[in-house]
Amino acid sequence: IAHLRSGGGTDFYESLRGGQTTFHGPGQLTAFLILNLKTHGLTSRVYVEFLETSVIATLAHYGIIGTRTENPGVWTSNGKKIASVGVHLRRYITGFGIGLNVDTNLEWFERIVMCGLPEKKATNFEGEGVKGVEVEEVGRVFAEIVAKGLRSVDGIEQVGEREAVGA
């Protein structure tokens, strides 16, 4: 872990999410869905594919081609990773989700080995030729795509932080 802390500026936390080391930080859409898979008629494998498909559709909205490969996450046509997917399930309830690099500082990814693949690199929207897009806007697009793809969801509603935490 010492090499990760090199240069400081970050904290590290162990979690139960699938996968190996990942990064979540500024400029990244981090969407952790909490769902009962039975309610939505999903298996764990179909759920992971659903998350990947939702990210791919979000990228397409901005003219970016995203693909699945034999490696976890969503990759661009130039073989760079633009989104991580990591889930945790307990009694059919999901935790964790996706990290989509919108305008993430890619230097953070120089400190980790994504998916255990040292030869792979990360990218973001700007690296794919899309500039000036805000994380919040991408979040709204992603949420709408997810809502359309889930059984029993009629739409989305944006709430403020105070409403979300019950303050």
What single-letter amino acid sits at 36? N
Whole-number Å distance between alpha carbons of 61 and 43: 27
DSSP state of 36: B
Which of 99, 84, 96 minimizes the C-alpha distance to 29?
Answer: 99
Q: What are the residues whose beta carbons fall under 8 Å from the beta carbon of 18, sequence distance 6 or more?
A: 72, 86, 87, 88, 96
Catalytic residue among 48, 115, 143, 145: 115
Strands 93-101 vs 28-32: parallel, antiparallel or unpaired: antiparallel
Q: What are the residues whose beta carbons fall under 8 Å from the beta carbon of 90, sequence distance 6 or more?
A: none
To the query of whether residue 115 is one of the catalytic residues in this protein, the response is yes
Whole-number Å distance between alpha carbons of 22 and 88: 14
Strand partners, 123: none
User: What residues are labeled active site?
Assistant: 115
